Amino acid sequence: MDKASGSKNTDSKSSKRRHDSESVMEVETVNGIEGKAKNKSSTKRTKNVAGNEQRKVPVPAHRYTPLKENWEKIFTPVVEHLQLQIRFNLKSRNVELRTSPETPDISNLQKGADFIKAFVLGFEVEDALALLRLDDLFVETFEVQDVKPLKGDHLSRAIGRLAGKGGRTKFTIENVTRTRIVLADCKVHILGSYQNIQIARRAICNLILGSPPSKVYGQLRNVSSRISERF
C-alpha cells in the first residue's frame, strides 16, 4: 500500500511540474507586448461559418491618412490569416469586415474588428497585430479627468508628466509593463494583458495625481523585479 501511495504522489508531483512548465511556456512576447500564446490545438478545430456576419468600425477624420498609408499592412493579415473580406466604405467612413465561405472560425471576425479598432485608436499596425497573434490581450481606455478633475494648464501639465521629456516616461512604463500606451488628447489607451494593464494604469494614475516620475520609476522597478522573480 505504501509503494502504491508513493507512486501516486510522485505521479501527481510530476503532473504538477508538467502543468507548471506548460503554464510558463504559454507566455509569449510579440513586438514588446506580453500575452498568452495561442493554443495550437484550437487552431486545428474548424467551425464552418454559415451566412455573412459583418462588423463595422467607424474611422475618425484624423485617422484617414494613416489608414490610407497603412492599408496594405492592415489588409494582408485580415485577408490571408483571418480569411475575412475587408473594405473601406467611403460614404459611411467605416471599415467593414465580413465573413467569407473560407473563414475557418466565426471568432476571427471579432479578432479582426479588435485589430482595426486598436489601429483607429492610434496604435501602430505592428502593435495592433499582437491582438491577432496572442490570446487574452485587451485595450483599456480612460480619460485623465476620470482620475482627477483637472482643467486648463493643470490638465496640460498632467498630460506632459505622462509623456515625459521626449516621451521618456511613456516609453519606460511601456517597456517595464510590456504594454503599449497611446496618449490621445485627454484619453489614455493601453494595449496589453489584463495584469500588465493594471500595473501600467496604476503608474499612469500616480503621475496624474502628481507623483514625481522618479518615484513612479522606483515603484515600477520593484514591480518588474517581482514579475521577473515569478517567471
For residue range 186-204, what is the model confidence (pLDDT) as tens digits?
999 999 999 889 999 999 9
Q: Give yes or no for a contact between 203 and 218, defined as CB atoms under 8 angstroms apart.
A: no
How much is the pLDDT for 101?
Answer: 87
User: Residue 138's closest CA among 115, 120, 122?
Assistant: 115
Q: Which residue has the higher pLDDT, 85 or 13?
A: 85
For residue range 204-229, list pLDDT tens digits in order.
999 999 888 888 888 888 887 777 77
Using CA atoms, how far residue 32 sits from 132, 133, 136, 181, 187, in Å, is: 15, 13, 15, 12, 22
How much is the pLDDT for 84?
Answer: 92
How much is the pLDDT for 25?
Answer: 43
Q: Which residue has the higher pLDDT, 22 or 151?
A: 151
How much is the pLDDT for 210?
Answer: 87
What is the rounded distance in angstroms from the CA atom of residue 68 to the CA atom of residue 86?
14
User: Residue 147's closest CA among 203, 231, 64?
Assistant: 203
User: Residues with Cβ < 8 Å from 188, sequence gap 6 or more?
Assistant: 141, 142, 143, 144, 162, 181, 182, 204
How much is the pLDDT for 49?
Answer: 54
Average pLDDT of the residues of the chain: 82
Which amino acid is present at 178? R
For the chain, the straight-line distance linking the first and the last C-alpha, in angstroms and rounded, comes to: 38
pLDDT band at 32 (very low <50, low <70, confident <90, very high): low
Of 13-22, 26-35, 70-79, 121-130, the one with minimum mean pLDDT is 13-22
